[in-house]
Amino acid sequence: MEKVRISKLMAERGMCSRREADSYIERGWVKVDGVVATLGERATASQTITLDKNVASQQSARVTILINKPMAYVSGQAEDGYTPAVALITAANRSRTDRSPLRFDRNQLRGLAVAGRLDIDSTGLLVLTQDGRVARTLIGEDSEVEKEYLVRVQGKLRPGGLELLNEGLSLDGKRLKRAQVQWQNDDQLRFVLREGKKRQIRRMCELVGLTVLGLKRVRIGQVMLADLPVGQWRYLAAHERF
């Protein structure tokens, strides 16, 4: 049976990210079949990997934050003339409806990664997390987590366009995963995707004769945007799972 790096196996099993796995291995917090692992060590898929209790303590301290991103904010790093969404995470911007017992601390901003970007002209649910397990669940190569969008459009839909949006389009020479697309009303479509190519929905719409006027992400997996106010944020609750 082929052996692969332990950090890769740990990431595939959803235990943590590969970077986190290497950190845990360096600290002696990972065992393979009961033996402390070493950095760079390989194992087979059938072997048992266990984590020290220190890992659980560290992981539980990591936060995941949900933002209702407004237009004109970039999801990731600051760009010339534009503000990153992480700048919205302040004590004053925390939603009053957030019932999490967590207290805001600026240390929670360290290592926050965007798990599924929204372009600058899009709004809605944006996830930033310190937890590699969450990031992998949402944006890992094998992620199947649904993302739901409400998309306001204009233009004339080409014949068979709705069918093409659901299962017949390719971008960058690669066939897209099957989508769920339906009309919500005369000028708004509902998209449910299981992937997130750059400006995917806008490009899909262009291929069938439509121009996107507004795009809002309202759900990621089982987590809803709901009544989170624009420009505000809350913690992912302990009971919530994507």
Q: What is d(CA 107, CA 86) in angstroms, rounded to the nearest whole number?
A: 13
Q: What is d(CA 83, CA 137) in angstroms, rounded to the nearest whole number?
A: 27
Is residue 113 within 8 Å of residue 135, measured between CB atoms? yes
Q: How crowded is residue 82: how many other Cβ atoms within 10 Å of its Cβ? A: 11
**DSSP letter at 117?**
-
Residue 191 forms beta bridges with which residues? Answer: 149, 181
Q: How many residues does the chain have?
A: 242
The edge-to-edge listing of strands for the beta sheet with 35-36 is 35-36, 30-32, 49-51
119 is a catalytic site residue: yes
Active-site annotation holder among 119, 131, 142, 227: 119
Q: What is d(CA 197, CA 238) in angstroms, rounded to the nearest whole number?
A: 29
| Catalytic annotation, residues | 119
